[in-house]
Amino acid sequence: MSYLAPETLEQALSALADPGPMRLVAGGTDVFPALGDRPLRGGLIDLTRVAEMKGIAARDGGWRIGGAVTWREILKTDLPPCFDGLKAAAREVGSVQIQAAGTLAGNLCNASPAADGIPALLALDAEVELASRDGTRRLPLADFVTGVRQTALRPGEILSALHIPVQPEGARSSFLKLGSRRYLVISIVMVSAVLWCRDGRIAGARIAVGAASPVARRLPALEAALTGLAPEALGAVTTPDHLAPLQPIGDVRGSADYRRAAVAELCDRALRKALHG
């Protein structure tokens, strides 16, 4: 197996264009366990040294999170309350050791239905930056993850960064994960909420649910139902109709009915947590 550690995006992209199977790796916390007993073959491009993929930068009112940024870096960075949900997800991915190596971009490219990072980033309306030798394109995260372990990443492309757009003033957020334990566990379901108030009323909300459909989904009907509500009135607002975009399955971690019931409760709790901490 050949190994390359490019230091610029240009070098990484030209390495990826070389003939033969080249695999991209950053933290390795999904790639290496997925090998099982098979050896690595072909070539490996290590993205952790690519300058353009490092660091978190505020720009144009929003933020650019480099593709090699780890969960640990998110936790250590001073970010406004709209990032509390993403930070909560960062504290629940794998273990602390995993958080030190694993990247947000890798979580997206791995495209597991149970990826802990996707609901929080969907609720922040994140976009992905996809670099290729032909230039750079941007896609809403909702259009990037297309199915179970499937993304819109084209051959020759690298997910070079995430972009978080400017958030409404006073936006707060939360993330709740249900697992059979807290750590080193695959989520049963998870919910992330971002919401903001004006004149004592909820002025808008974004709610995303993971592990209850092939791809994590926003809940537009619930978001619409929240607008105009008084925060104190927020009790059990989530109804079965609001969960229409979800298609939970039954598996070893829980039945489909259990997942539906858990999502409704978690949505209500996530909203209260975003509002009241």
Partner 1 sequence: MNTHSDMQAGQDTALPGPTTSKTRLVVNGTERVLEVDNRTTLLDALREHLRLTGTKKGCDHGQCGACTCFVNGQRVNSCLSLAVMHDGDEITTIEGLGTPEDMDPLQAAFVAHDGFQCGYCTPGQICSAKATLEELRAGIPSHVTKDLLANPPLSPEEIKERMSGNICRCGAYANILEAVLDVAEAR
Span 39-68, contacts to partner 1 by CB under 8 A: 39-44, 46-48, 67
Q: Are 229 and 133 in contact (CB under 8 A)?
A: no
Site for partner 1, residues 169 to 208, rule: CB under 8 A: 182-184
| Cβ within 8 Å of residue 49, ≥6 positions away | 5, 6, 7
Q: Are 89 and 120 in contact (CB under 8 A)?
A: yes
Residue closer to partner 1 by CB (options 146, 221) is 146
Site for partner 1, residues 107 to 126, rule: CB under 8 A: 107, 109-112, 115-117
CB of 125 to partner 1, least distance (A): 21
Site for partner 1, residues 7 to 26, rule: CB under 8 A: 18, 20-26
Q: Which of 56, 159, 162, 208 binds partner 1 (CB under 8 A)?
A: 159
Residue 275 engages partner 1 in binding (rule: CB under 8 A): no
Q: Which of 6, 9, 13, 27 binds partner 1 (CB under 8 A)?
A: 27
Residue closer to partner 1 by CB (options 1, 236) is 1
Site for partner 1, residues 79 to 98, rule: CB under 8 A: 84, 87-88, 91-98
Residue 210 engages partner 1 in binding (rule: CB under 8 A): no
Residue closer to partner 1 by CB (options 49, 260) is 49
CB of 215 to partner 1, least distance (A): 15
Q: Which of 11, 75, 214, 221 binds partner 1 (CB under 8 A)?
A: 75
Site string for partner 1, 225-244 (x = CB under 8 A): --------------------
Residue 131 engages partner 1 in binding (rule: CB under 8 A): no
Q: How many residues form the binding site for partner 1 (CB under 8 A)? A: 72
Residue 272 engages partner 1 in binding (rule: CB under 8 A): no
